[in-house]
Amino acid sequence: MTLEETLKQQVKAAVKALYGINADDKQIQLQKTRPEFEGNITLVVFPFVKLARKAPAQVAEEIGKAMTDSTIVGEPVIEKFNAVQGFLNMSIAPSFWIEQLEAIAADANYGELPDRNRLMMVEYSSPNTNKPLHLGHVRNNLLGSSIARIQEANGWKVVKTNIVNDRGIHICKSMLAWLKFGNGETPESSGKKGDHLIGDYYVRFDKEYRKQIAELMAGGMSEEEAKREAPLMKEAQAMLLKWEQGDKEVRELWAKMNSWVYAGFDETYKMMGVSFDKIYYESNTYLEGKKEVERGLQEGLFYRREDGSVWANLTGDGLDEKLLLRSDGTSVYMTQDIGTAKLRYQDYPIDKMVYVVGNEQEYHFKVLSLLLDKLGFPFGKELVHFSYGMVELPNGKMKSREGTVVDADDLMEQMIKDAKEISKDKVNTLPDITEAEANEIARKVGLGALKYFILKVDPRKNMLFNPEESIDFNGNTGPFIQYTYARIQSVLRKSGPTSSPSIIGRGVNSTDTLNDKEVALIQRLTDYPATVKQAGEEFSPAVLCNYAYAMAQEFNSFYHDYSILNEADEQKKNLRLLLSAEVAKVLKHAMALLGIEMPARM
């Protein structure tokens, strides 16, 4: 039984004996005791004041006395208490902290809830096949992958899914530019990753398109007319129509160029440490979406305009009118998402569907939920849009078509190089370090720095990415937490063959008085399951980042003030080794939920 559960049970027994109150869990408000007061846990007694018909300070005093009375609560958890107005500050008995520590050590799956046999699908990444993944995709993938891990720890069965936007006008732009300016260039002939190669041609299209716009405007056209009449754009639109009509040459070119991109994506995903259980492709799902739109048209849910385009009138729902099919019959993103949602619920018995998509798409998902509901799909109103903020750079926003993005591959490679350079003085002092191990440490530290810096920010907020801050070995960074873990591993290695948690806890006398920093660490460890639960409920990896950083800070403070290996008292030494081992275990687990690997040496 956890500390919180035990305290609630004893509070219930106390108020029942004192005032005849049958308290429920909602009435029992527990929080950490503020630093200026003595105690570990504080009970807010105001919910019981009215029924007790006494002053808050008196109620707190009476409950405190009752909770130290074995005839009322059984074996008391609190050793002493102090009442401050309507707050009861409770000091937990050392024996209970020792029991909690030993229970944590015995639980190989500490922090994870049992399987609830419910299925959640989490969609993330959603790349376009006209460009490589960039910094914005990095945040999306890291958030999605971490959320999936956190929900699994909270007892969900999770299907990680990706929808690849492999068709549309943006794809045709890259294809057309390659046909016109590529001279048969391939990933093999150029030495470039396939996604980078195709991205170059997307940028090239925009460059040539702008030239044509400028020429047409110089000839007297307005900017709007020039954009519409530019030959390149007309050719791209014609290519899209051919693609939807199944033109053999266009489809073969499309398949070839997309295969280059997928190979590039796979390399990036592997380096990033993310994966998927099921990948859907817009080129398949949009047809299902068109069928549903046509059904909605027949049933009077949608309407067709004079130019042949199909629309949904959502003004009665407080929104506006939404295009579903263009006048030439080609589909839009909404069409694809309707089809994808339908196929997913056919493929899996999903209890909850979560879309990890940037906050600029909030309106899109409001419309999608409403349209699916109107089409009669019972899951329409249950969709969850996990809306996250954008990543910005010191010099502003990124623009793919202008080639001003921060490429994901380049970013990860640079982070690893920076980690190797910054940590070389530390790593080179390790005994018997090989070049391969040094490179592996640099990889874990560099990627850990990147992931932690992105995930520690409240996901709903925009963030400014600063690589230099992210890789600092001090402060709220991934490397600081990794270094703390490596420090503990070093202590455990030096302690000799008795360093496994199952052994080093033996001989600990539960009546020994713990110092304040040992108590603080054990209390932080007991908070971990609730922290994982909170991260799952809020869909927030940042909750785990904050926890891991606070834990690392507290351990380093303890390590600075108290000896572990040189402690003369064998029982205290064993206790501190056990405590250190459990801190390392929980740090590793928390960071794993963030997708961050922990090096055993640094």
- Residue pair 574/501 in contact by the 8 Å Cβ criterion: no
Token pair recorded at residue 187: 């990933």
- Residue pair 49/57 in contact by the 8 Å Cβ criterion: no
- Provide mean pLDDT across the span 48-76: 95
* Residue 505 confidence (pLDDT) above 80: no
Q: Are residues 424 and 478 in the same domain?
A: yes
Q: Are residues 415 and 390 in the same domain?
A: no
The amino acid at 344: R
Q: What is the DSSP letter of 331?
A: B
Token pair recorded at residue 452: 């932690």
Quickly state the pLDDT bin for 468 (edges 50, 70, 90). Answer: confident
Residue 264 placed within a domain: yes
pLDDT for the residue numbered 395:
58
Residue pLDDT, tens place only, 92-120: 999 999 999 999 999 999 999 888 889 99
**What is the DSSP pairing of strand 303-304 with strand 463-464?**
unpaired
Q: Are residues 425 and 361 in the same domain?
A: no
Least confident window among 54-63, 280-289, 386-395: 386-395
Q: Choose one of 367, 402, 437: the last residue of a domain.
A: 402
Q: Are residues 450 and 518 in the same domain?
A: yes
Distance CA 187, CA 193 (A): 6
* Residue 501 confidence (pLDDT) above 60: no
**% of the chain at pLDDT higher than 90:** 82
Cα 549 to Cα 14, 385, 479, distances in angstroms: 36, 28, 10
* Residue 486 confidence (pLDDT) above 60: yes
Task: Output the 3-class SS for 249-277.
Answer: HHHHHHHHHHHHHHHHHHHHHHHHCCCCC
Q: What is the DSSP letter of 393?
A: B
Q: Choose one of 92, 109, 132: the last residue of a domain.
A: 92
pLDDT for the residue numbered 484:
97
Residue 324 placed within a domain: no
Q: Are residues 342 and 412 in the same domain?
A: no
pLDDT for the residue numbered 380:
84
Residue pLDDT, tens place only, 561-574: 999 999 999 889 99
Task: Output the 3-class SS for 19-65.
Answer: HCCCCCHHHCEEEECCCCCCCCEEEECHHHHHHHCCCHHHHHHHHHH
pLDDT for the residue numbered 425:
77
Distance CA 392, CA 407 (A): 13
Cβ burial of 33 (10 Å; 0-12, 13-18, 19+) is buried
pLDDT for the residue numbered 507:
52
* Residue 274 confidence (pLDDT) above 90: yes
pLDDT for the residue numbered 487:
96
Q: Are residues 172 and 262 in the same domain?
A: yes
Q: Are residues 237 and 376 in the same domain?
A: yes
Residue pLDDT, tens place only, 229-262: 999 999 999 999 999 899 999 999 999 999 999 9
Quickly state the pLDDT bin for 392 (edges 50, 70, 90). Answer: confident
Q: Are residues 364 and 449 in the same domain?
A: no
- Residue pair 341/379 in contact by the 8 Å Cβ criterion: yes
- Residue 156's domain comprises 124-277+338-402
- Provide mean pLDDT across the span 298-318: 96
Q: Are residues 385 and 458 in the same domain?
A: no
Token pair recorded at residue 597: 């690997």
Residue 304 placed within a domain: no
Cβ burial of 477 (10 Å; 0-12, 13-18, 19+) is buried
Residue 600 placed within a domain: no
pTM more than 0.85 = yes
Q: Are residues 22 and 128 in the same domain?
A: no
pLDDT for the residue numbered 404:
55
Q: Are residues 373 and 414 in the same domain?
A: no
pLDDT for the residue numbered 467:
76
Please tell me which of 79-88, 419-428, 458-467 the model is most confident about, judged by mean pLDDT: 79-88
Q: Residue 134: which CATH number?
A: 3.40.50.620
Residue pLDDT, tens place only, 337-383: 999 999 999 999 999 999 999 999 999 999 999 999 999 988 888 89
* Residue 400 confidence (pLDDT) above 60: no
Q: Is the pLDDT higher at 327 or at 512?
A: 327
Quickly state the pLDDT bin for 430 (edges 50, 70, 90). Answer: confident
Distance CA 239, CA 245 (A): 10
Query: In angstroms, how far is CA 537 from the centroid of its own chain?
Result: 12
* Residue 398 confidence (pLDDT) above 50: no
pLDDT for the residue numbered 503:
47
Q: What is the DSSP letter of 219?
A: T
Residue 527 placed within a domain: yes
Cβ burial of 326 (10 Å; 0-12, 13-18, 19+) is middle
pLDDT for the residue numbered 509:
57
Q: Choose one of 381, 402, 423: the last residue of a domain.
A: 402
pLDDT for the residue numbered 68:
96
Task: Output the 3-class SS for 496-522.
Answer: CCCCCHHHHCCCCCCCCCCCHHHHHHH
Residue 273 placed within a domain: yes
* Residue 499 confidence (pLDDT) above 50: no
Distance CA 444, CA 346 (A): 39
Distance CA 374, CA 232 (A): 38
Token pair recorded at residue 128: 């376009």
Q: Are residues 66 and 193 in the same domain?
A: no
Q: Is the pLDDT higher at 143 or at 430?
A: 143
- Residue pair 258/127 in contact by the 8 Å Cβ criterion: no
Q: Residue 419: which CATH number?
A: 1.10.730.10
Residue 22 placed within a domain: yes
- Sequence length of the chain is 602
The label of the residue with tokens 């690893």 reads: 416
pLDDT for the residue numbered 427:
74
Q: Residue 22: which CATH number?
A: 3.30.1360.70
- Residue pair 339/288 in contact by the 8 Å Cβ criterion: yes
- Provide mean pLDDT across the span 324-329: 90
Distance CA 216, CA 225 (A): 9
Residue 317 placed within a domain: no
- Residue pair 62/18 in contact by the 8 Å Cβ criterion: yes
Torsion angle defined by CA atoms of residues 256, 258, 264 and 269, in that order, rounded to the nearest 10 degrees: -150
Domains identified in the chain, total number: 3
